[in-house]
Structures are given as structure tokens and as C-alpha cells.
């Protein structure tokens, strides 16, 4: 239908912007600032690697991401936990500052003002959605290729991904930064701020570790979005030639993305994510009964009637 076509078109275009240019630009900055690799050379090398992996098919993408992402995530998680444990005595003070800052009168006034202007709200929601893509509707394109025979279990894995990415990884990163900076304003550059924070605990070598992590995360994201874009393209055209042209254009964008400005790219990405999320959540709400039935049949939650009976029995006791 029309809504599916709009979603596929936005997903196809987003693969070039949000899934490619934004990632490559951040990775190129990290490579240049830490390893002193020129951005044009970096873009060409990464594009060549992407072409090699992408043209090997989804299995090639899956093999790379299934090894790279868990390995980098485990290393990053270990470094975060170790850093937090080193300064564990400062956690109560940091948490107190967070709560005081969040619920203070000035924060409330700023929140209301920002809501009225819609600036803070829009940017906060947009960047949050960009981080975890929850509700955007892109992740199912990858999950559908899993080997599981129970879709509900795969859905729970998708929920866990969002939890781990946002609640665990982002919270630990924030704690490391706050503990390391100790209330001082160091820089407004996110990547440099993270590097500074980890450098306090691991010395100058932290720059190499964090930059390498950024490069691997960006590379894996570019590979995943290549598959997303190819899937969206197949909604309109299902020919091998069209797929080859798209993948060639995608790899060329990977090389150019290291040099391109992110201004208009971010604006389009924010809009496309918002529209895709609205369309996907509308479909999810429309199919909520089917989702509940599938989850109950898989034994992952109690049927509604049984839950009601158990609540009544519990209240009677």
C-alpha cells in the first residue's frame, strides 16, 4: 500500500544518509584525530572493504557483524565497568548531581521552555531514536533472517538490544564521563569528551581503543544499513541489476561520506526516522492483538484471562 511504499522509500534514502554518511563522517573524524589518516584515503579503504563484504551477500554481513559487534561491545563494557569501579566512591555524588539537575526548579523551567519551543524535545527524541532505532521498523529486516522458529523470542531479543544499548551502554558511558570530568566542562565534542574521560583511567592509549571501537561500530552499522536499503529497494524493484546498481552507489557514498557535511544529512535523518517510526508504531498498534496472541502462544507471557484470575486470587488472599 501507500504507507508501505513511503516507509520503503524513506528507508532506502536513510540508508545513504543516517546509515552511511553520518557513520562514515564520525569514523573519518576519529581516524584522522587519533591515527592521522587522511579522510579521502580512509573513505576509499572503507568503501573497498564494504564492497567486498556487501557483495558477498547477507551471510557475509552477518559473519562480520556477529563477530565484530559482540567483541567490541564486550571490550567497551569491560573498560566502562573497570573505570566506574575505580572511582566507585564518587558514584553517590554523581547520581545526586544528576537527580538534583533533573528535578531542580531551573531544570523544570528550562524543560517547559524547551517544550514550548519544541527544540529540546525534538532534538532529544530524534537523537534518542537515532541511537537505538526503537520503533523505527528497520531492525525487523535483520531479525527476520534469524534461525529461530518462534518469532516472539526474536522480538524479545530486539527489546533486549534496545535495553542494552540505551540503559546499559549509554548509562555506563555517562558515568565514566561524569566521574572523570568531576563537574568540569572539558569540551562539547562528544567523541573528544569520551576519549578524555577514558584517558584518565587508561592513559593516552585510550584514544586508540575508543577510536578503534568507533571505527568498528561505524563499519558494522554501514554494513547493516546496506542490507536494510537493499530490502527496501526490493519493495519497488526485484532485479539483480537494480540491486547491483544500488550497492555500487552505496559503496561510492561510503567513500564520499568521509568528506561530506552532516548539516542537511542530520535534518533529513531526523525527519525520515520520525516518519518511519510513526508508520511502524501505527502498524504495531493495529496488530497488537496478533502480537499478544503470538507472545502468549510462545509461552513468554500469561494469557490475559489467566493474569486476571491470578490477580484476583492474590488480592483475595
Q: Are the CB atoms for 232 and 8 separated by under 8 Å? A: yes
In the chain, which ranges are continuous DSSP H helix? 2-16, 22-35, 39-54, 58-86, 91-103, 105-117, 119-132, 140-143, 151-162, 171-181, 190-202, 205-236, 240-257, 263-286, 288-297, 304-316
- All three cell numbers of 44, joined, read 576509499
149: helix, strand or coil: coil
Q: CA–CA separation, 109 vs 98, rounded Å? A: 16
Q: What pLDDT does 163 receive?
A: 86
Span between the terminal Cα atoms of the chain, in Å: 52
Q: CA–CA separation, 121 vs 106, rounded Å? A: 16
Q: Per mean pLDDT, which of 143-157, 181-195, 261-275 is the most reliable?
A: 143-157
Given a cut of 70, is residue 317 above it in pLDDT?
no
Q: pLDDT band at 228, cuts 50/70/90? A: very high
Q: Please choose, from the candidates 72, 97, 258, the residue with its C-alpha nearest in 3D space to the C-alpha of residue 165.
A: 72
- In the chain, the percentage of residues whose pLDDT exceeds 70 is 77
Instruction: Between 176 and 100, name the one with better pLDDT.
Output: 176
- 126-150 residues labelled b (16+ CB within 10 A) or e (exposed): beebeebbbbbbbbbbbeeeeeeee
Q: What pLDDT does 232 receive?
A: 94
Q: What pLDDT does 116 receive?
A: 46
- All three cell numbers of 234, joined, read 526490493
**pLDDT tens, residue by residue, 24-75:** 888 888 888 888 899 999 999 999 999 988 887 766 666 767 777 788 888 8
Q: CA–CA separation, 44 vs 65, rounded Å? A: 20
Least confident range from 16-20, 59-63, 165-169: namely 59-63
Q: How much is the average pLDDT of 140-162? A: 80
Q: What is the mean pLDDT of the chain?
A: 80
Given a cut of 70, is residue 315 above it in pLDDT?
no
Helix pair 119-132, 105-117: axis angle to 10 deg: 90
Q: pLDDT band at 308, cuts 50/70/90? A: low
Given a cut of 50, is residue 235 above it in pLDDT?
yes
Q: How much is the average pLDDT of 193-205? A: 84
Q: How much is the average pLDDT of 284-291? A: 86
Q: Please choose, from the candidates 240, 242, 260, the residue with its C-alpha nearest in 3D space to the C-alpha of residue 252.
A: 260
Given a cut of 90, is residue 241 above it in pLDDT?
yes
- Compute and round to an integer the Cα radius of gyration of the chain: 22
Amino acid at each position: 500500500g501507500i504507507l508501505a511504499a513511503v516507509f520503503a522509500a524513506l528507508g532506502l534514502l536513510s540508508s545513504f544518509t543516517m546509515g552511511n554518511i553520518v557513520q562514515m563522517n564520525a569514523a573519518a573524524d576519529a581516524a584522522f584525530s587519533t591515527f592521522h589518516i587522511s579522510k579521502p584515503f580512509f573513505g576509499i579503504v572503507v568503501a573497498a572493504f564494504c564492497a567486498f563484504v556487501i557483495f558477498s551477500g547477507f551471510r557475509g554481513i552477518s559473519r562480520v557483524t556477529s563477530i565484530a559487534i559482540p567483541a567490541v561491545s564486550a571490550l567497551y563494557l569491560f573498560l566502562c565497568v573497570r573505570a566506574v569501579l575505580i572511582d566507585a566512591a564518587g558514584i553517590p555524588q554523581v547520581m545526586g548531581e544528576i537527580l538534583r539537575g533533573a528535578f531542580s526548579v531551573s531544570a523544570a523551567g528550562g524543560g517547559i521552555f524547551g517544550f514550548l519551543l519544541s527544540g529540546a524535545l525534538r532534538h532529544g527524541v530524534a537523537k534518542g531514536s537515532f541511537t537505538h532505532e526503537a520503533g523505527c521498523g528497520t531492525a525487523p529486516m535483520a531479525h527476520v533472517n534469524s534461525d529461530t522458529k518462534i518469532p516472539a523470542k526474536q522480538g524479545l531479543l530486539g527489546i533486549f538490544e534496545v535495553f542494552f544499548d540505551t540503559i546499559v551502554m549509554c548509562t555506563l558511558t555517562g558515568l565514566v564521563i561524569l566521574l572523570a570530568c568531576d563537574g568540569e566542562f572539558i569540551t562539547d565534542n562528544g567523541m573528544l569528551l569520551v576519549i578524555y574521560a577514558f584517558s584518565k583511567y587508561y592513559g593516552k592509549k585510550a584514544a586508540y581503543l575508543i577510536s578503534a571501537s568507533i571505527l568498528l561500530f561505524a563499519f558494522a552499522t554501514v554494513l547493516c544499513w546496506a542490507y536494510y536499503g537493499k530490502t527496501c529497494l526490493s519493495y519497488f524493484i526485484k532485479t539483480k541489476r537494480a540491486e547491483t546498481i544500488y550497492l555500487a552507489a552505496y559503496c561510492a557514498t561510503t567513500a564520499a561520506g568521509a568528506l561530506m557535511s552532516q548539516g542537511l544529512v542530520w535534518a533529513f535523518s531526523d525527519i525520515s526516522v520520525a516518519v518511519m517510526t510513526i508508520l511502524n508504531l501505527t502498524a504495531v498498534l493495529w496488530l497488537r492483538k496478533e502480537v499478544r496472541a503470538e507472545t502468549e502462544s510462545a509461552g513468554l507471557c500469561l494469557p490475559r484471562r489467566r493474569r486476571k484470575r491470578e490477580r484476583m486470587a492474590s488480592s483475595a488472599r
